[in-house]
Structure 1
């Protein structure tokens, strides 16, 4: 078996916290983010944007940015809303969610902009 890397994360060190699988990777480029949105649209999932302060990411509900974009198929419009949320709340984490209305659950969720700790 190969060596497993231990990611040094803890509740007391808020800068070390991981949120989901993508948080172990470098930040997504604009092209990589677009591909994730394209995937959500291709699956027929309803995109939504959420945000929260970095210090509240684990023990609070995230704020919803507007309503979920039911039936939205424009990748540019979805990315524009994510960017608008990030600009309105530059210190917050911004998360993209794809809701699967058939399974009645999130099909995917990823932090696409990371806020800075105060």
Structure 2
């Protein structure tokens, strides 16, 4: 049996915080993020972009970037919106969400840009 790894994460250190499954892995490349967007589209989920300040990521709601992209299937459009959000809010975390309208829940959620902790 392999040993469990302890991830050094602390509420007092915003730069160490983990947000979801992918945050425990090395940062995703642009190609890997693109594949996740393709998966969201393939599943028929509605993409949405959210952002927040790193220090507020755990105890505040995240701000929605525009409206969810209901029915959007163009991967480049979705990625362009994530990039536009990051450009408009360079110090914020930006996450991509895939809403599953049948289960009425998030089917996927991942931080695609990490902001700088203050």
Give the TM bin, normalised by the shorter chain: over 0.9
Deviation of 1:44 after TM superposition, in Å, equals: 0.1
> Which residue does 1:72 correspond to in 2?
72
> Which residue does 1:52 correspond to in 2?
52
Deviation of 1:13 after TM superposition, in Å, equals: 1.6
| Cα separation, 2, equivalents of 1:8 and 1:70 | 37
Deviation of 1:30 after TM superposition, in Å, equals: 0.9
Deviation of 1:67 after TM superposition, in Å, equals: 0.2
RMSD, aligned α-carbons? 0.6
Per the alignment, in what secondary structure is the counterpart of residue 22 of structure 1? helix
Q: Verify: 1:11 aligned to 2:11, yes or no.
A: yes
Structure 1, unpaired ranges of 5+:
none
| Cα separation, 1, equivalents of 2:22 and 2:117 | 19
TM-score scaled by structure 1?
0.98
Deviation of 1:108 after TM superposition, in Å, equals: 0.6
Per the alignment, in what secondary structure is the counterpart of residue 26 of structure 2? coil
Identify the range of structure 1 (10-19 vs 62-71) with the bigger mean alpha-carbon deviation: 10-19
> Which residue does 2:90 correspond to in 1?
90
| Cα separation, 2, equivalents of 1:109 and 1:14 | 19
Aligned length: 118
| Cα separation, 2, equivalents of 1:29 and 1:88 | 21
Deviation of 1:65 after TM superposition, in Å, equals: 0.2
| Cα separation, 2, equivalents of 1:99 and 1:82 | 16
Per the alignment, in what secondary structure is the counterpart of residue 12 of structure 1? coil
> Which residue does 1:20 correspond to in 2?
20
> Which residue does 2:2 correspond to in 1?
2
> Which residue does 1:29 correspond to in 2?
29
> Which residue does 1:81 correspond to in 2?
81
| Cα separation, 2, equivalents of 1:34 and 1:13 | 29
